[in-house]
Amino acid sequence: MQNNSLNKLIVDTFVAEPSTRLEGRLHVASLPDGTPIRVPIILINGRNPGKTLYLQAISDGNELNGIAVIHEILSKINPEQLCGQLIVVPILNIHAFHAKQAYSPVDNLKMNRCFPGRPDGTSSYRIAHKLFEKAIKQSDYCIDLHQGGVSPMIDEVRVRVGDKHELYKECLELARVFGIGYILDQKGPKGQLAQAAPDIGIPTIDPELGGTHGWDEVSIEKGVRGVMNVLKHYHFVDGEVEIPKQQVVVNQFVSVLSNQAGFVYYKKALYDHIKQRETIAEIKDVFGNVIETVRATEEGIFWTHPIYPMVASGGVIGKIGTPISHI
């Protein structure tokens, strides 16, 4: 989907010639005093022609693992050895990033519910529109790096189009190639990039690289390997992919609820395969007495749990990914 002239990579006013890397800041908004808001962008135009990959991070302002992945990827890519082009946005949601939160403090919206954006919408819609029109539309593949906020979660990749979508197989294959080992195959909320880009013919995935405050080195390493797998598999760079022979796929999450309020002592860890009626946790009262044993209502993978080990009555202590299949 390139709009390049004579193999130039062009995004708005930025032009990267073959065999070059260009760094800049794309104007997307302004503060009340007129201070411009600029999104950092990197264009890498390979020596040899090929496909275009769009890679972004920090759509949610508190999900930092993705930017560390991008930094590592940028250190590995030599334009002289690249076939094709990379368009890389390390920080998309500038407002939310500075506020250290998922939602933009300007319009209280989550950027990943605003794609493909609107030129006449609120701030988040306008930023999404600018990137979608100027950068994303000319790509052949998209990777939108996320994580589960600051709550502990397994490393996984999400396919968000649903199995009736015309690009479903291509998106699922992109997720398989990323090779992180766990895939959520579930149509997502409207406005996600992983829906909007496939709607115009661009296979897109939404890797969720764990959940933590700050960096998580294990999740970052998996993210780097995943992006490199994509670059290798689709012939951007040379090298052997590292893809598990079998990967877990689930289609939904089932919340695990506590009837009693208290303190959570987990008996299962993330990634564990949990059978129905197995004990997941014990709830203790403030005196240390066990007042409830929480059991799984479904078989599946223990996918995520809250960051703090306490719960109100009727609160969620975790989520199970189910039903389990494999690719």
User: What confidence tens digit (pLDDT) does each residue in 269-297 have?
Assistant: 999 999 999 999 999 999 999 999 999 99
Q: What are phi and psi of 74, to 5 degrees?
A: -60, -35
Residue 31: predicted pLDDT? 86
- Domain with 321 in it: 252-326
Q: What is the pLDDT of residues 151-161, one digit of tens each?
A: 999 999 999 99
- Global confidence as pTM: 0.95
- Residues 213 and 272 reside in one and the same domain: no
Structure-block tokens of residue 226 = 């995943």
Q: What is the pLDDT of residues 130-144, one digit of tens each?
A: 999 999 999 999 999
Residue 1: predicted pLDDT? 54
Entry field: residues in the chain? 327
Given a cut of 70, whether residue 3 has pLDDT beyond it is: no
Percentage of residues of the chain with pLDDT beyond 90: 95
Query: What is the rounded average pLDDT of the residues 189-216?
Result: 96
Are 157 and 226 spatial neighbours (Cβ–Cβ below 8 Å)?
yes
- Residues 227 and 287 reside in one and the same domain: no
| Predicted confidence band of residue 30 (pLDDT cuts 50, 70, 90) | confident
Given a cut of 50, whether residue 298 has pLDDT beyond it is: yes
Asked, for residue 4, whether it belongs to a domain, the answer is no
Q: What is the pLDDT of residues 81-127, one digit of tens each?
A: 999 999 999 999 999 999 999 999 999 999 999 999 999 999 999 99
Count of domains for the chain: 2
Residue 4: predicted pLDDT? 46
- Residues 133 and 212 reside in one and the same domain: yes
Given a cut of 80, whether residue 2 has pLDDT beyond it is: no
Please tell me whether the peptide bond between 244 and the residue prior to it is cis, using omega within 30 degrees of 0: no
Closest CA to 207 of 62, 65, 42: 65
Structure-block tokens of residue 317 = 């202590």
**Which of 206, 233, 260 is the last residue before a domain boundary?**
233
Given a cut of 50, whether residue 258 has pLDDT beyond it is: yes
- Largest Cα separation within the chain, whole Å, is 73
Q: Which residue type occupies 283? A: I
Q: What is the pLDDT of residues 173-195, one digit of tens each?
A: 999 999 999 999 999 999 999 99
Mean residue pLDDT across the chain: 95
- Residues 160 and 263 reside in one and the same domain: no
Residue 67: predicted pLDDT? 97
- Residues 267 and 218 reside in one and the same domain: no
- Residues 15 and 152 reside in one and the same domain: yes
